[in-house]
Chain A
Amino acid sequence: MADKTQTSANFSSVPVMLLLTLVSLPLVLMYAYLFIDTISNSEAGSLIPNELTLEHWRFLWETRPGKASIWLVTLNTFIFAGSITAVILIVSSMAGYVLSRLNVPARGLLLAGVMVLHAFPSVTLIISIFIVLQYVGLYNSLIGVILVKAAIDMPLGIWLMKGFYDTVPWEIEMAGLVDGASRFTVWRRLVLPQIKPAIMALGLFSFLTGWSEFILPQVLAPGSQVQVLSVYLASLIADDNNFDFATFKAVGVFYVVPVLVLYVFFQKHLMNIYGGGTKG
Chain B
Amino acid sequence: MRILLDKFSKSFGNTKVIEAMDLEVGSGEMLALLGPSGCGKSTTLFAICGIHRPTSGRILFGERDVTSLPSQERNVGVVFQSYALYPHMTVEENIGFPLTVRRLPAGDIKKRVAEISALVHIDNLLGRRPAQLSGGQQQRVALARALIRRPDVLLLDEPLANLDAKLRLEMRSEIRRLQKETGITAILVTHDQVEAMSMCDRIAIMKEGEIVQIATPSEMYNDPRTAFVAGFLGNPPISFLKGKALSGAFVSGDGNFRLPLGSLRDIGDGRALTLGIRPEHFGPKGDLVIEGKVAFAETQGRENLYDVVLADGSVLRSIQPVRDDVKLGDCVRWNLSSEAAFVFAEDGRRL
Chain A 163-195, CB-CB to B under 8 Å as 1, else 0, gives 000000101101111111110010001100110
CB pair A178–B86 under 8 Å, yes or no, is no
- Contacts A180-B98, A181-B101, A193-B88 known; A171 to B72 CB distance under 8 Å? no
CB pair B51–A174 under 8 Å, yes or no, is yes
Q: Cβ of A176: which chain B residues have Cβ within 8 Å of it?
A: 86, 97
Q: Cβ of A174: which chain B residues have Cβ within 8 Å of it?
A: 46, 51, 71, 78, 80, 84
CB pair B88–A178 under 8 Å, yes or no, is no
CB closest chain-A residue, reference B145: A179
CB closest chain-A residue, reference B101: A181
CB closest chain-A residue, reference B73: A180
- Contacts A171-B84, A172-B86, A194-B88 known; A178 to B77 CB distance under 8 Å? yes
Q: How far is the CA of A194 from the CA of B78 in the complex (A)?
A: 21
CB pair B51–A178 under 8 Å, yes or no, is yes
Q: How far is the CA of A181 from the CA of B149 in the complex (A)?
A: 13
Q: How far is the CA of A172 from the CA of B85 in the complex (A)?
A: 7
- Contacts A169-B84, A190-B86, A193-B88 known; A178 to B97 CB distance under 8 Å? no
CB pair A178–B101 under 8 Å, yes or no, is no
CB pair B149–A178 under 8 Å, yes or no, is no
CB distance from B216 to the nearest CB of A (A): 29
CB pair A179–B80 under 8 Å, yes or no, is no
Is B76 close to A, CB under 8 A? Answer: yes
CB closest chain-A residue, reference B70: A177
CB pair A182–B84 under 8 Å, yes or no, is no
CB distance from A86 to the nearest CB of B (A): 23
CB pair B51–A185 under 8 Å, yes or no, is no
CB distance from A169 to the nearest CB of B (A): 7
Q: Which of A171, A175, A180, A196 contacts B102 (CB 8 A)?
A: A180
Chain A interface residue bracket vs B: 10 to 19
CB pair A178–B50 under 8 Å, yes or no, is yes
Q: Cβ of A177: which chain B residues have Cβ within 8 Å of it?
A: 50-51, 70-72
CB pair B78–A180 under 8 Å, yes or no, is no
Q: Which of B77-108 contact A (CB under 8 A)?
A: 77-78, 80-88, 97-98, 101-102
CB closest chain-B residue, reference A181: B101
Interface size of B in residues (CB-CB distance below 8 Å): 26
- Contacts A169-B82, A171-B82 known; A179 to B97 CB distance under 8 Å? yes
Number of CB contacts from chain A to chain B under 8 A: 60
CB closest chain-A residue, reference B151: A178
CB closest chain-B residue, reference A172: B84
Q: Cβ of B145: which chain A residues have Cβ within 8 Å of it?
A: 175, 179
Is B273 close to A, CB under 8 A? Answer: no
Q: How far is the CA of A19 from the CA of B262 in the complex (A)?
A: 92
CB pair B101–A179 under 8 Å, yes or no, is yes
CB distance from A200 to the nearest CB of B (A): 14
Q: Which of B46, B74, B84, B101 contacts A185 (CB 8 A)?
A: B101
CB distance from B251 to the nearest CB of A (A): 53
CB closest chain-B residue, reference A185: B101
Q: How far is the CA of A71 from the CA of B97 in the complex (A)?
A: 47
Q: How far is the CA of A189 from the CA of B86 in the complex (A)?
A: 10
CB distance from B226 to the nearest CB of A (A): 33
Q: Cβ of B101: which chain A residues have Cβ within 8 Å of it?
A: 179-182, 185, 189
Q: Which of A246-275 contact B (CB under 8 A)?
A: none
Q: Cβ of A172: which chain B residues have Cβ within 8 Å of it?
A: 84, 86
CB distance from A250 to the nearest CB of B (A): 45
CB distance from A279 to the nearest CB of B (A): 12
Q: Cβ of A189: which chain B residues have Cβ within 8 Å of it?
A: 101
Q: Cβ of A181: which chain B residues have Cβ within 8 Å of it?
A: 72, 97, 101
CB closest chain-B residue, reference A278: B87
Q: Which of B51, B83, B149 contacts A180 (CB 8 A)?
A: B149
Q: How far is the CA of A175 from the CA of B155 in the complex (A)?
A: 12
CB pair B72–A175 under 8 Å, yes or no, is no
Q: How far is the CA of A177 from the CA of B77 in the complex (A)?
A: 10
CB distance from A199 to the nearest CB of B (A): 13
Q: How far is the CA of A3 from the CA of B51 in the complex (A)?
A: 41
Chain A 88-121, CB-CB to B under 8 Å as 1, else 0, gives 0000000000000000000000000000000000
Q: Which of B110-147 contact A (CB under 8 A)?
A: 145
Greatest chain B CB density within 10 A among A169, A177, A178, A196 is at A178
Q: How far is the CA of A29 from the CA of B149 in the complex (A)?
A: 67
CB pair A194–B87 under 8 Å, yes or no, is yes
Q: How far is the CA of A79 from the CA of B86 in the complex (A)?
A: 36
Q: How far is the CA of A181 from the CA of B46 in the complex (A)?
A: 17
Q: How far is the CA of A180 from the CA of B78 in the complex (A)?
A: 11
CB distance from A107 to the nearest CB of B (A): 15
Q: How far is the CA of A228 from the CA of B262 in the complex (A)?
A: 97
CB pair B78–A182 under 8 Å, yes or no, is no
Closest 7 pairs between A and B when the two form their complex, measured CB to CB: A171-B84, A175-B84, A179-B98, A193-B88, A177-B71, A181-B101, A171-B80
Residues of A within 8 A of B (CB): 169, 171-172, 174-182, 185, 189-190, 193-194, 196
28 contacts between A and B (CB under 8 A): A169-B84, A171-B81, A171-B83, A171-B84, A172-B84, A174-B46, A174-B84, A175-B78, A175-B80, A175-B86, A176-B86, A178-B50, A178-B51, A178-B71, A178-B76, A178-B77, A179-B97, A179-B145, A180-B98, A180-B149, A181-B72, A181-B97, A182-B72, A182-B101, A185-B101, A189-B101, A193-B86, A194-B87
Residues of B within 8 A of A (CB): 46, 49-51, 70-72, 74, 76-78, 80-88, 97-98, 101-102, 145, 149
Given A178-B51, A180-B149, A194-B88, 16 further pairs, Cβ under 8 A: A171-B81, A172-B86, A174-B78, A174-B80, A175-B80, A175-B86, A175-B145, A176-B86, A177-B51, A178-B49, A179-B98, A180-B98, A180-B102, A181-B101, A182-B101, A189-B101
